[in-house]
Structure 1
Amino acid sequence: MAFPYEWQIGVRYLRAGRRSGRNSFISFMSLVSIAGVGLGVAALIVVLSIMNGFQRDVGARMVAVLSHIELYDARGVLPDWQATVRDAQRNPAVQGGAPFVELPGMLLQEDIMKPALLRGILPQDEAKVAEFMRGKNADALAALTPGAFQIVLGSELAKALNVKKGDNVVLAMPSQDSSVANVMPQTRRFTVAGTFEIGHFEFDSGMAFIHLQDAEQILHVNYPTGLRLRIADANQAPQVARELKNSLNGDYIVRDWTQRNANWFAAVQSQKHMMFIILTLIVAVAAFNVVAMLVMSVTDKRADIAILRTLGASPPSIMKIFVVQGLLSGLLGVLAGTIGGVLIAWNLPSIANGIEQLFGIHILDKNIYFITSVPSQLLWSDVGGVVGVAVALSFLSTLYPSWWATRTNPAEALRYE
């Protein structure tokens, strides 16, 4: 037959007949090795998908409120920010720009005090660069009026301060008058004009917006201190930032959103790599089941090996038989694990919601993970890497038992047969 006999015998050994208890146990061991590899592969695919989804969702929420690119003048203010926006838009990737002023301070309401970062904006221009300014968020920010000293709070910040629309809060921040010997914080009362919600706990609990003119008045400046730029593809922000740095006339400091969160992204990537290594060890442990199964199979098939040798089978052919048997076990496990892992990764948010409702628990604490739902993003490159590693480990686990089979002495094996 065209199909090599080594493959035929290897497949037959994998199926392991029911002639004796030993053969039945070897068949059980085959199932255990397949299941072990499958579970390891599925776990690796699911965990990597969760890490990808976490990075995607948190990154998207960051981009929704942070600038794709921030631009500062070395002098501290931007007197003609409109001209700077026009210069920046000569780069085809830049879609719009908006001025801003940032004020770190403390917000007080009666005996409650919370730190917050206030951003002074022009609502009509901010809508050009901020993705979160849609729906209710846009309506709340559009209500900001210059000179009225109104403030729009993050939803979690408003809850922490126990305030609602129409209530008053007090901003306390370091005095801008450096000539005062006994520096006392300056305060300003604001009226809550509404709240916004981004879905990222860090921003919802620690950020607020006021009108640009009010922020300039508090800082005693006449111009914005920075410029936020929006580009077509946020992933191209580092490249576009370098291009703007080289093309703009003036002494500008240009920073993209990945630099502002570089430590966070580096930590996520590091965790993903470590999880890949740790879960690969699980697949490696499962591959030891293949080794155990093959050792038992070689011991049980010593007479068969001896007969094949006397019929002219070469040691490499004997080795190939058991490599086929072990590798097929690994491949079946990899196939089952890949299918299971992909299906779970695709439906993980629904599965997680069902578990939360069934047991009345909340899997992700927004105070720690920034998001409240379990994310998942399946990348076929990750699937390919997992499959490649699992197949390689399965193949390596077959080598020693298969080589050991070639050491069988036909005369010794047939003596008591």
Structure 2
Amino acid sequence: MHLVWLLAWRFRSDKRQNGFISFISASSTFGIGLGCFVLIVLLSVMNGFERELKDKLLSVIPHAEFKSVYPEGIENWQQEVNLLRKHPEVTFVEPYIKATGMLQKGNKMKAVEVTGLNMEFAELGILPSLVEEEQWQQFKADHNAVLLGAGVIEKLGLRVGDRVQILLPQLSSDLSLSAPKTLNLHVIGSIDLRGELSNHIGFIHMSLAAEAQNIENGAQGIRLRYRDPFTAPKLTREIGFELRPEVYMSNWTISDGNLYQDIQLVRAVVYLALTLVIAVACFNIVSTLVMAVNEKKSEIAMLKSMGAKNGLIVFVFMLQGTFNGLIGTAFGVLLGVFMALNLANIASIIEHLLGVQFLSGDIYFIDFLPSELRWHEVYMTASIAVLLSILATLYPAFKAARINPAKVLGH
């Protein structure tokens, strides 16, 4: 085995080697390293977006909603809430009423979706942590109070303490539109949820929303959050079929899942594309070794005439080609890991130097470039690169083993 290593390294580092072969060899090493580097960095960015989606956006919006099919709401919703609280995968449950209307301040109007909350349940949720303590206490005490998204307040030029009106559409007995219901509300505070969500959201008291929407049973539906939000599609169907009232079922992947689906799609495309880049770089190893075999025919023939077996020749050239894959993979993985672990800081420095912002908080739910390194993806990337490098050496290595010493040395 020592002889195999010695011959492989001697062939690879031979000073007399054709310059073009050296160039192709270096380009294959560079291509493999670049593919590993970019793949690790981009996968880490996708992981970072997924983590921020889970920790930020999905910590605010409900993971599932069960809305009554009847206009009067869910009968005995208190019992249903108590049953759902006992589910091992459910972390938070609350009743709600949702309505869409036009918020008006002077001659300015903005479409908003207001959610009526029960203060007893909302107190246990995340909403109190999104506003100042004083504002939350005022919101609880004032029956006509409203909390508005930061985007809504900016669009209408509102300030805390302003009085606004919201016009809610009403349906008559024959399901035709009648005169809208007008609610006079007191702006208590703003909620900055980042991104588009802050541009159309608002919260009011559930009792006020029930009165405005003519919901006799006090709650239009029930919404909840799970321990793992990515189990929402499966769990929502299971829970929905077990509920006694007839409800429409919805989960966050339907209402706000486009970003998550985009992340998964980009992850798959990136992995496929960059794996192909690594594969193409590995094909350069084939070219390098084929030319090296043709150049080293006399040395191979001498080795075989001295008693070298075909297996030794095969292993020598497989090892010579694998060197390129190992070196490229090692440099690519090390640089990729370093970049992935420090991407947020590096991106911040580049933003400061160029005077640009990669992600705007007005559009996205985060304003920085996230990254999360997952070691199993690093191991998989390195394994794929090394495996493709080894496979690329097979044809040239067996071609070298088939060289006939008599023909080569006889010329």
How far residue 341 of structure 1 moved from its aligned partner, in angstroms, is 1.1
Match of 1:149 among 139, 144, 147: 144
Give me the CA root mean square deviation. 2.8
CA distance in 1, matches of 2:24, 2:177: 79
After superposition, the C-alpha distances for 1:105-155 in whole angstroms (9 at most, x for unaligned) are 2323344433221111124411323x3531535654442257642221111
Residue 96 of structure 2 corresponds to: 100
Say if 1:120 and 1:214, in contact at 8 Å, map to a contact too.
yes
Distance 1:113 1:394, change over 3 A: farther
- How many residues end up aligned between the 2 structures? 409
What is the identity, as a one-letter code, of the residue corresponding to 2:162?
D
Distance in 2 (CA, whole Å) between partners of 1:181 and 1:244 is 34
Q: How far off its partner does 1:297 sit?
A: 2.0
Q: Which residue of 100, 113, 121 corresponds with 1:125?
A: 121
* Residue in structure 2 matched with residue 350 of structure 1 by the alignment: 345
Matched, 1:204 2:189: no
Query: SS of 1:190's equivalent?
Result: strand
CA spacing shift, 1:127–1:310, aligned 2, 3 Å: farther
Q: Comparing 66-75 with 48-57, which one deviates more in the overlay? A: 66-75
Give the whole-Å Cα distance in 2 for the aligned partners of 1:149 and 1:104.
17
Residue type at the aligned position of 2:214: H
Report if aligned partners of 1:146, 1:211 keep a CA contact under 8 Å in 2: no
* CA distance in structure 1 between the aligned counterparts of 2:196 and 2:55, rounded to whole angstroms: 13
| 1:391 and 2:386 matched | yes
Q: Which moved more, 1:149-158 or 1:120-129?
A: 120-129
**Aligned mates of 2:148, 2:168 — CA distance in 1:** 17
Matches within 5 A, 1:15-414: 16-18=13-15, 20=16, 22=17, 26-76=21-71, 77-129=73-125, 131-134=126-129, 136=131, 139-145=134-140, 148-177=143-172, 183-199=178-194, 201-222=195-216, 223-238=218-233, 240-245=235-240, 247-366=242-361, 369-414=364-409
**TM-score for both structures, normalised by structure 1:** 0.87
Secondary structure at the counterpart of residue 56 of structure 2: helix
Distance in structure 1 (CA, Å) of the matches to 2:107 and 2:392? 66
CA contact under 8 A between 2:52 and 2:370: conserved in structure 1?
yes
**DSSP 3-state at the match of 1:102:** strand
Instruction: Give, in whole Å, the separation in 2 of the partners of 1:227 and 1:366.
Output: 30
State the one-letter code of the partner of 1:270: L
Preserved contact between residue 7 and residue 316 of structure 2 (Cα < 8 Å): yes
> Which segment drifts farther, 246-255 or 325-334?
246-255
1:58 deviates by 2.0
* Matched AA of 2:55: A
CA drift at 1:250: 4.0
The one-letter amino acid paired with 2:150 is: S
Asked whether the equivalents of residues 57 and 365 of structure 2 are also in contact (C-alpha less than 8 Å), the reply is: no
**Given the superposition, is the C-alpha separation of residues 262 and 95 from structure 1 closer, same or farther in structure 2, using an over 3 Å criterion?**
closer
Q: Supply the distance in 2 between the matched residues of 1:217 and 1:250 (Cα, whole angstroms).
A: 21
Q: Is the 8 A contact 1:91 1:244 kept in 2?
A: no
Q: Give the alignment's TM-score, normalised by structure 2.
A: 0.88
**Paired residue type of 1:17:** D
> Does the residue aligned with 1:134 lie in a helix, a strand or coil?
helix
Q: CA deviation at 1:371?
A: 2.6
With over 3 angstroms needed to count, the CA separation of the structure-2 counterparts of 1:180 and 1:397, relative to structure 1, is closer
The answer to whether the 8 Å contact 2:193/2:365 transfers is no
Q: What letter is aligned with 2:163?
A: N
Identity %: 32
Out of 7, 10, 17, the position equivalent to 1:9 is: 7
Separation (CA, whole Å) in 1 of partners of 2:187 and 2:160: 5
User: Could you report, residue by residue, the CA deviation over 1:267-318 in whole angstroms, capped at 9, with x for unpaired residues?
Assistant: 3212211111111122122213322322332233222111112112233432
Conserved? CA contact 1:123–1:141, under 8 Å: no
Contact 1:303 1:413 in 2 (8 A): yes
Distance 1:8 1:79, change over 3 A: same
Aligned partner of 2:333: which letter?
Answer: T
Cα distance change, pair 242–176 in 1 and its aligned pair in 2 (3 A): closer
Q: Which runs of 5+ in 1 are unaligned?
A: none
**Distance in 1 separating the partners of 2:93 and 2:22:** 67
